[in-house]
Amino acid sequence: MSQNAPTGHTQHPEWNATVLGYPRIGPDRETKKAMEALWAGRADLAATESALAAVRARTVRRLNALGLPAHDASIPSSFSAYDQVLDTAVAVGAVPERFADLVGADGRVDLGACSTMARGRGTLAPLEMTKWFDTNYHYLVPEIGPTTAFRFADDRGVREFSEALADGFLTRPVVVGPVTFLLLAKAADGGPEGFAPISRLEDLLAAYEGLLAAHAAAGATWVQLDEPGLVSESATARVDGLADLVRGAYERLAAVPGRPRLLVATPYGDAQEFLGALSAVEGIALDLVEGSAPADPSVLAGKTVVGGVVDGRNVWRGDLEEARESLRRMQGSAGRVVPGTSTSLLHVPHDVSRESALPERLRGWLSFADQKVAEVVLLGRALADPDGSGVAAGLADSAAARADRLGASGVVRPQVRDRLAALTPDAFRRSDHAVRRVAQETALGLPLLPTTTIGSFPQTSEIRRARAARSRGELAQEGYEEFLRAEIDRVVQLQEELGLDVLVHGEPERNDMVQYFAEQLDGFAVTEHGWVQSYGSRGVRPPILWGDVSRPAPITVPWSRYAASRTAKPVKGMLTGPVTILAWSFVRDDQPLGDTANQVALALRDEVADLEAAGIGIVQVDEPALRELLPLRTADQAAYLDWSVTAFRLATAGAADATQVHTHLCYSEFGEVIEAIDGLDADVTSIEAARSRMEVLEDVARAGFARGIGPGVYDIHSPRVPSAEEVVGLLRSAVGSVPAPQVWVNPDCGLKTRGYAETTESLRNLVEAARTVRAELLEGTPVAG
């Protein structure tokens, strides 16, 4: 332990249990509502700040009521109005030059300015957004250059700590750690070739020193530094000597005079090779769900070790007896072992007790954030209770809930299993791609650089209101369907007017691309209040996949058939793929994921067949989560890619040669999974590319990818409208990297989060740009990149 360990170490009570973070959105999505009111001009900064403060106050009180004490720093202070990586960037002064005017004279960046960095404004492009490890949460990517002027600049986190303290709660501020911050950052545009943000670690540490000193001055006794970057081999492998950098960084932070104690958390997997480099800190939080206890227990000696035995990412009640045993096994090695969650509870909904519409039996199997807090608190008591008599009933109850789940009817359904067992290899194979291409060219007759969208059109408040009215019983099913048909009419007509080549029905019937399917498949349950943050103000209600899956009736066919009846142009049917349905649901843990994926795939295969029978000649099967589920450990990746590709092929390989199968993946790190994407054997793949200015096409070209590819030319995560000239530039660069006959023109992702004004203008520019570049290609004008 460091010579500079904070004084007064023994004056503070030790924790008995903790969680690494708590949902920030509020039980009724108060944070979303506050931020969206600010963006819409319905609330000013002061009103927004006060709405957010109410969410924070409620959180600390709730955590305290659930059993985490008020005065020992076991309650995390982990709020963020938009994203914790953005907050950290702002805290350490890493505001890109184009946003410099938004920084106040005091170094602070207010909520409006943070929102501009996140969402863009006018010609100001937002920060890039990407997946947070292998989760469905998305963070904003810091942009770091050789001259980024790091300093402790924005003290929002300290103010939030002080606010809780004034309310009577000594919390534990949570900040993204310096190593992870730089591993997740990208090199700012215009910097020297080969510049790596991690090379700025020494400079960044000065800002963290200031941050720790400010927290200490405010009275913080512990600060949690999240270092999940250390569990990701794709991140750590890029940096030579990373363990030494980690060691140096934490020795330097440990030397800050009077600092709070440091808890370094390594959620989402194993950071075994770096634990020895954390000798200077007082605490380590280990993910014991996706990672394991250290092979060399001496790295824990003398430390407070948060044993992350309660799964922060799934919703099943844990096996607490087993959890207690694994914590006990570590007790001999560590200074002190404290039960905790494996990750922040950011990934689970607030409270299962609100789900009164769920069958009671199912509800008894579940644990959301509040229940997980109760689980760690119970485990804390269990560790402190030598004979276990005071906790025996609680532990037995958790074991009984698990047994009840695994034995329930519907968990195993022989007809589903028999059908899967009877499949032959032909069920996973289509004809050669070249053969299919000819059949599809004949059937579809599309122009060079065909234009299309990714499926959803804006989910207007009218659509949401109609759905809400139907749920409340105020709008009959018939009236709701009539409303949806009118919406489809409008969307089809708009696409005709804009001149798009392949039309969609716009997905107005879907609350969410996964939840909608789950609602219509056996084996799933859905929640009423189970919101989880996906990015910024956007949330999802992940379905709960608890039993064997099958499709009682067609799901999307009536909508696609109706759209096709309203136009002579080809209409693309739209399905969510098996991997994404799994990735964005809470999935049963009693069988391999691949088996579950194949059950979902079979249901989708039937849907593809029904779409074909309804005359739909193009079917898109979205797999935006294919990359997200890629295991962080290289050793686990091949097996994952095998089952995920297999499931996609099972879903799609029943399609006729002339049916064009599309897939859509909304991320841009294509390189790592390009072979798997090839293995999906889709005829056309659309991918996110606009924010990264088509960099992704270098991977596509390098891999010799021979199928259709639609690099997104319009970043739909931002309200910004790309000009036709900008899209022309992107398209020229696309056809410069990939043969033009392979290139499709489409946005980065669906348009559901956008408004009609910006959507219409952006799509008009997209079509105009496609026509311009198409003409250049056909007329043989050289296309400059």
Ligand X SMILES: CN1c2c(nc(N)[nH]c2=O)NC[C@@H]1CNc1ccc(C(=O)N[C@@H](CCC(=O)N[C@@H](CCC(=O)N[C@@H](CCC(=O)O)C(=O)O)C(=O)O)C(=O)O)cc1
Ligand Y SMILES: N[C@@H](CCS)C(=O)O
Query: Phi-psi bin for 783: left (phi > 0), alpha (psi -120 to 50), beta?
Result: beta
Residues 157-216 that bind ligand X (CB under 6 A): none
Asked if 249 and 201 touch (Cβ cutoff 8 Å), the reply is yes
- Does 624 participate in binding Zn ion (rule CB under 5 A)? yes
- Does 534 participate in binding ligand X (rule CB under 6 A)? yes
Nearest to 516 by CA among 559, 599, 576, 602: 576
Least Å distance, CB 599 to ligand X, is 19
| Interaction mask 292-331, ligand X, x per CB under 6 A | ----------------------------------------
- Does 743 participate in binding ligand Y (rule CB under 6 A)? no
- Does 455 participate in binding ligand Y (rule CB under 6 A)? yes
Site stretch for ligand X (CB under 6 A), options 190-198, 210-218, 563-571, 745-753: 745-753
Residue 89 class from Cβ within 10 Å (0-12 exposed, 13-18 middle, 19+ buried)? buried
Closest to Zn ion by CB, 86 vs 666, is 666
Q: Which does 467 bind (CB under 5 to 8 A by kind): Zn ion, ligand X, ligand Y, none?
A: ligand X
Nearest to 715 by CA among 696, 691, 732: 691
Read off the tokens for 85. Answer: 């990586």
Helix/strand/coil for 650: helix
Closest to ligand X by CB, 82 vs 150, is 82
Closest to ligand X by CB, 371 vs 585, is 585
Q: Which does 143 bind (CB under 5 to 8 A by kind): ligand Y, Zn ion, ligand X, none?
A: none
User: Binding Zn ion by CB under 5 A: which of 68, 113, 666, 777?
Assistant: 666
Asked if 519 and 526 touch (Cβ cutoff 8 Å), the reply is yes
Pairing of strands 261-266, 222-226: parallel
Helix/strand/coil for 130: strand
Nearest to 262 by CA among 278, 243, 244, 245: 278
Q: Which residue is nearest to ligand Y (CB)?
A: 750
For residue 777, which phi and psi values (nearest 5 degrees)?
A: -70, -45
Residue 168 class from Cβ within 10 Å (0-12 exposed, 13-18 middle, 19+ buried)? exposed
Least Å distance, CB 638 to ligand X, is 25
Angle at 699 between CA 694 and CA 704, to 5 degrees: 120
Torsion of CA 463, 464, 466, 467, to 10 degrees: 120
Q: For this structure, is 717 an active site residue?
A: yes
User: Binding ligand X by CB under 6 A: which of 117, 377, 540, 603?
Assistant: 540
| Interaction mask 462-501, ligand Y, x per CB under 6 A | ----------------------------------------
DSSP 521: S
DSSP string for 180-206: HHHHH-EEPTT--TT--GGGGHHHHHH
Report in angstroms the alpha-carbon separations of 468 from 459, 461, 472, 532. Answer: 13, 10, 6, 19
Q: What number of other Cβ atoms are within 10 A of residue 727's Cβ?
A: 23
- Does 624 participate in binding ligand Y (rule CB under 6 A)? yes
- Does 511 participate in binding ligand X (rule CB under 6 A)? yes
Closest to ligand Y by CB, 135 vs 733, is 135
- Does 664 participate in binding ligand Y (rule CB under 6 A)? yes
- Does 42 participate in binding ligand X (rule CB under 6 A)? no
User: Binding ligand X by CB under 6 A: which of 132, 274, 428, 584?
Assistant: 584
- Does 513 participate in binding ligand Y (rule CB under 6 A)? yes
Least Å distance, CB 730 to ligand Y, is 19
Closest to ligand Y by CB, 153 vs 751, is 751
Hunting for tokens 């030494």 — which residue is that? 244
- Does 611 participate in binding Zn ion (rule CB under 5 A)? no
Residues 605-664 that bind ligand X (CB under 6 A): 624
User: Binding Zn ion by CB under 5 A: which of 211, 214, 618, 749?
Assistant: 749
- Does 608 participate in binding ligand Y (rule CB under 6 A)? no
- Does 512 participate in binding ligand X (rule CB under 6 A)? yes
Closest to ligand Y by CB, 102 vs 665, is 665
Least Å distance, CB 686 to ligand X, is 12
Read off the tokens for 536. Answer: 């910024």
- Does 454 participate in binding ligand Y (rule CB under 6 A)? yes
Helix/strand/coil for 525: strand
Q: How many residues bind ligand X (CB under 6 A)?
A: 23
Q: What number of other Cβ atoms are within 10 A of residue 630's Cβ?
A: 21
- Does 707 participate in binding ligand X (rule CB under 6 A)? no
DSSP 745: B
Least Å distance, CB 665 to ligand Y, is 8
Asked if 399 and 319 touch (Cβ cutoff 8 Å), the reply is yes
- Does 538 participate in binding ligand X (rule CB under 6 A)? yes
- Does 662 participate in binding ligand Y (rule CB under 6 A)? no
- Does 749 participate in binding ligand Y (rule CB under 6 A)? yes
- Does 464 participate in binding ligand X (rule CB under 6 A)? yes
Q: Which does 459 bind (CB under 5 to 8 A by kind): ligand Y, Zn ion, ligand X, none?
A: ligand X
Site stretch for ligand Y (CB under 6 A), options 60-68, 121-129, 130-138, 745-753: 745-753
Residue 223 parent element (H or E): strand 222-226
Q: Which does 776 bind (CB under 5 to 8 A by kind): ligand X, ligand Y, Zn ion, none?
A: none
Hunting for tokens 């399609």 — which residue is that? 655
- Does 460 participate in binding ligand X (rule CB under 6 A)? no
Hunting for tokens 């969402």 — which residue is that? 119
Q: What number of other Cβ atoms are within 10 A of residue 122's Cβ?
A: 9
Residue type at 753 in one-letter notation: T
> How far does Cα 550 stand from its chain's mean position?
26
User: Binding ligand X by CB under 6 A: which of 31, 148, 440, 753?
Assistant: 753
Closest to ligand X by CB, 456 vs 495, is 456
User: Residue 546 and residue 775: Cα distance in Å, rounded?
Assistant: 53
User: Residue 546 and residue 523: Cα distance in Å, rounded?
Assistant: 6
- Does 513 participate in binding ligand X (rule CB under 6 A)? yes
Site stretch for ligand X (CB under 6 A), options 109-117, 139-147, 157-165, 456-464: 456-464
Report in angstroms the alpha-carbon separations of 755 from 40, 462, 539. Answer: 12, 12, 17
User: Residue 337 and residue 15: Cα distance in Å, rounded?
Assistant: 9
- E-strand spans in 456-614? 522-525, 532-535, 538-540, 544-550, 572-576, 586-587
User: Residue 167 and residue 187: Cα distance in Å, rounded?
Assistant: 41
Q: Which does 574 bind (CB under 5 to 8 A by kind): ligand X, ligand Y, Zn ion, none?
A: ligand Y
User: Binding ligand Y by CB under 6 A: which of 119, 707, 720, 752?
Assistant: 752
Q: Which does 455 bind (CB under 5 to 8 A by kind): Zn ion, ligand Y, ligand X, none?
A: ligand Y
Q: Which residues are catalytic?
A: 717
Which residues of the chain form contacts with ligand Y (CB under 6 A)? Answer: 454-456, 513, 574, 622, 624, 664, 666, 749-750, 752
Which residues of the chain form contacts with ligand X (CB under 6 A)? Answer: 136, 459, 461, 464-465, 467-468, 511-514, 534-535, 538-541, 584, 624, 666, 749, 752-753
Which residues of the chain form contacts with Zn ion (CB under 5 A)? Answer: 624, 666, 749
